[in-house]
């Protein structure tokens, strides 16, 4: 869920809670106010009845005789202390509105009662009881229909208005969040674009002069420090590898000369070991230099349109003699007539590194497969093995320098530069590379080159058709 939606949801919930609390309070206030109004009207009616009795306008029935209902729409009764009905209106009926203990209690002073069910009324009736004279109690009543109707109408308005308020508040919060977060989103897009462009570029200052501007400045300072650190590393790698090349080349030449004039078996073995170790150092320094050049966007290519199958076959013959140089057979399935604009020498390096990597992490006798095909404007090279595969946590970082050497289950003679060089070369051609684990065991590395060369606009991500991204 996006931050904007979370803000809208939070504001909507908060508004709903506020509307609910306000509705409960308003309902209580409205009920209390309408009840107070009804009680005042009952008191007024009581005063009117008192005055009418005092003026002799109303007469009471004699003790022992039933009171006859008076044609009056108001609820008025006069009840004797023994419960006999002395006066009643037609609306009040011929049964005392209160009786028993309530009647005795009401004789002590003005009291208010509520009768839940009274014939002819759909809602409770409020009764005010007050002594009329010694031994006589005046009861004046009123319907609570107005109170109930007012509360029902208020609840309808509160529910409807609450829903509208919640929707309006959420929509307003969404608009406000969009306005507030728009500079943040622009900054995020800039950072995303900068991650794929030349290092050293910085975020554009939003010019707001607030926390967003401070965030942009902080991020730019961080990017500057990262760029400076990366530049120092690149310069160190380039300088160290360049300075090591000359003495190592001299050592290799000296070893070859000495070996050619040595006839002793022990010396021959010693020279072989030394030559092998120096050869590894030469390869390491060469790889470091190429990585430094590639990261500095100075990797040079001699591009030409050529058929890829002969180039791949020549690279295999030169490095591995189709499996003769290793204990792992190589199975080649190259589609003919696959052309692309590539640097043949760099393509040979890709094949050399991928096959050497597959052999290094394959069990003895394990098959290494090399497949070449053409798909949707790309020339696709896949190299797979049936070894241990990549640990799941390593898959996202497989192309980082020195990471590949930590792949489990294989030889430790590699430096972890092969896959890094492969991706640098592929991206320099306008393509890319990916690795995955095969479902049946082992791993597969896929490299694709645009047929028309690096000038072609590459906006598709080619995914290997073999294996899965999950590790074992």
User: Are residue 369 and residue 393 in the same domain, yes or no?
Assistant: yes
Q: What is the CATH number of the domain that holds 256?
A: 1.10.287.130
Expressed in angstroms, the distance from the first to the final Cα of the chain is: 31
More confident residue, 471 or 446: 446
Average pLDDT estimate for 264-272: 63
Average confidence score pLDDT of the chain: 76
Averaged pLDDT for residues 114-134:
81
In a domain, 112, yes or no: yes
The reply to whether 280 and 349 lie within a common domain is no
- pLDDT classification of 371: cutoffs 50, 70, 90: very high
For residues 144 and 125, the answer to whether their CB atoms sit within 8 Å is yes
Q: Tell me if 437 is assigned to some domain.
A: yes
The pLDDT value given to residue 297: 52
Residues 311 and 406 in one domain: yes
Q: At what angle do helices 344-360 and 308-319 cross, to 10 degrees?
A: 50
Does some domain include residue 157? no
Q: What pLDDT does residue 16 have? A: 85
Query: Does 244 share its domain with 320?
Result: no
Residues 279 and 322 in one domain: no
* Domain endpoint, select from 98, 122, 147: 147
d(CA 68, CA 86): 9
Q: Is residue 170 part of a domain?
A: no
Q: How confident is the model at residue 80 (pLDDT cuts 50, 70, 90)?
A: confident
User: Closest Cα to residue 194, out of 156, 161, 222, 236?
Assistant: 222
The tens digit of pLDDT for each residue in 130-176 reads 888 788 888 888 887 777 777 788 788 888 888 888 888 888 888 88
CATH classification at residue 417: 3.30.565.10
Asked if residue 444 and residue 308 are part of one domain, the reply reads yes
Tokens of 449: 């080159």
CA dihedral 75, 80, 85, 88 (to 10 degrees): -30
Q: Structural domain tally of the chain?
A: 3
Residue 89 scores a pLDDT above 60 = yes
The larger pLDDT score, comparing residue 441 to residue 211, is at 441
Q: What is the pLDDT of residue 469?
A: 35
| pLDDT at position 425 | 87
Burial class (CB in 10 A: 0-12, 13-18, 19+), 391: middle
Q: How many residues does the chain have?
A: 472
Contacting residues for 167 by C-beta, under 8 A, at least 6 apart: 12
In a domain, 360, yes or no: yes
Strands (E) across 366-470 are located at 368-375, 378-384, 432-437, 443-450
Task: Please state, in angstroms and rounded to a whole number, the distance separating the CA atoms of residues 314 and 344.
Answer: 10
pLDDT band per the 50, 70, 90 thresholds, residue 13: confident
Domain boundary, last residue among 130, 147, 164 = 147
Both 409 and 432 in one domain: the answer is: yes
**pLDDT reported for residue 333:** 92
- Give the model's pLDDT for residue 67: 74
Answer whether 440's CB lies under 8 Å from 311's CB: no
Q: Decide: 142 and 76 in contact? Cβ < 8 Å.
A: no
Confidence band for 221, pLDDT divided at 50, 70 and 90: confident
What confidence score (pLDDT) does residue 471 get?
35
The tens digit of pLDDT for each residue in 428-467 reads 888 999 999 988 888 999 999 998 866 543 333 443 433 3
**Cβ-count burial 58-93 (b if 16+ within 10 Å, e if not):** bebbeeeeebebeeeebbbbbbbeeebbbbbbebbb
Identify the pLDDT of residue 443. Answer: 92
Determine the structural domain holding residue 278 and report its residue range. 211-295
* Selection from 174-178, 318-322, 362-366 with the highest mean pLDDT: 362-366
**Would residue 71 count as lying in a domain?**
yes
Asked whether 150 and 35 are in contact (CB, 8 A), the reply is no
For 471, the 3-state DSSP assignment is coil
> Strand 368-375 and strand 378-384: pairing?
antiparallel
Task: Confirm whether 156 is domain-assigned.
Answer: no
Using a pLDDT cut of 90, give the percent of the chain over it: 10
Domain boundary among 147, 162, 195: 147
**CB contact at 8 A, 408 and 421:** no
pLDDT level of residue 125 (50, 70, 90 thresholds): confident
Same domain, 249 and 330: no
What is the separation of C-alpha 234 from the centre of its chain, rounded to a whole number of angstroms? Answer: 36
pLDDT for the residue numbered 382: 95
Which element (helix H / strand E) includes 333?
strand 330-334
Asked whether residue 308 falls in the same domain as residue 443, the answer is yes
- Two tokens at 170? 């959420």
Residues of the chain with pLDDT > 70, as a percent, come to 71
* Co-location of 327 and 266 in the same domain: no
DSSP string, 406-433: G-TTS-S---S-HHHHHHHHHHHTT-EE
Mean pLDDT of 215-244: 67
281 and 409 belong to one structural domain: no
223 and 130 fall within a common domain: no
Average pLDDT over residues 102-123: 76
pTM for the complete prediction?
Answer: 0.44
Give the residue-averaged pLDDT of 299-310.
Answer: 85
- Flag whether 230 is in a domain: yes
Residues 6+ apart with CB under 8 A from 426: 350, 432, 433, 447, 448, 449
């Amino acid at each position: 869920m996006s931050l904007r939606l979370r803000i809208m949801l939070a504001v909507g919930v908060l508004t709903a809670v506020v509307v609910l609390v306000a509705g409960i309070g308003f309902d209580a206030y409205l009920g209390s106010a309408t009840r107070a109004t009804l009680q005042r009207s009952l008191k007024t009616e009581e005063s009117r009845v008192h005055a009418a009795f005092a003026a002799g306008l109303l007469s009471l029935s004699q003790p022992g005789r039933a009171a006859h209902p008076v044609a009056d729409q108001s609820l008025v009764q006069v009840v004797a202390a023994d419960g006999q009905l002395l006066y009643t209106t037609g609306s009040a009926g011929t049964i005392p509105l209160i009786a028993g203990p309530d009647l005795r209690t009401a004789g002590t002073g003005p009291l208010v009662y509520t009768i839940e069910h009274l014939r002819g009324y759909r809602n409770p009736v409020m009764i005010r009881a007050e002594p009329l004279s010694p031994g006589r109690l005046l009861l004046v009543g009123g319907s609570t229909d107005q109170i109930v109707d007012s509360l029902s109408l208020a609840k309808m308005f509160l529910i409807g208005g609450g829903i509208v308020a919640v929707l309006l508040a959420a929509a307003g919060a969404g608009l406000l969040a969009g306005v507030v977060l728009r500079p943040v989103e622009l900054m995020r897009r800039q950072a995303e674009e900068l991650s794929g462009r030349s290092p050293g570029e910085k975020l554009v200052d939003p010019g707001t002069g607030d926390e967003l501007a401070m965030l942009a400045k902080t991020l730019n300072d961080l990017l500057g420090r990262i760029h400076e650190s990366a530049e120092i590393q690149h310069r160190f790698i380039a300088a160290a590898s360049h300075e090591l090349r000359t003495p190592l080349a001299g050592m290799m030449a000296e070893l070859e000369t000495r070996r050619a004039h040595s006839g002793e078996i022990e010396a021959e073995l010693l020279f072989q070991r030394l030559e092998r170790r120096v050869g590894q150092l030469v390869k390491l320094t060469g790889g470091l230099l190429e990585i430094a050049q590639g990261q500095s966007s100075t990797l040079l290519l001699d591009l030409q349109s050529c058929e890829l199958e002969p180039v791949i076959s020549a690279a295999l013959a030169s490095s591995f003699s189709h499996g003769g140089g290793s204990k792992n057979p190589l199975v080649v399935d190259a589609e003919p007539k696959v052309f692309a604009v590539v640097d043949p020498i760099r393509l040979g390096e890709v094949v050399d590194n991928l096959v050497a990597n597959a052999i290094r992490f394959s069990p003895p006798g394990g098959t290494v497969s090399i497949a070449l095909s053409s798909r949707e404007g790309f020339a696709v090279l896949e190299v797979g093995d049936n070894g241990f595969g990549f640990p799941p946590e390593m898959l996202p970082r497989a192309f980082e320098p020195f990471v590949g050497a930590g792949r489990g289950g294989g030889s430790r003679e590699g430096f972890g530069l092969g896959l890094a060089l492969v991706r640098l070369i592929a991206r320099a051609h306008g393509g890319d590379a990916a690795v995955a684990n095969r479902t049946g065991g082992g791993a597969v590395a896929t490299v694709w080159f645009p047929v028309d060369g690096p000038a072609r606009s590459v906006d598709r991500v080619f995914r290997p058709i073999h294996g899965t991204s999950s590790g074992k």
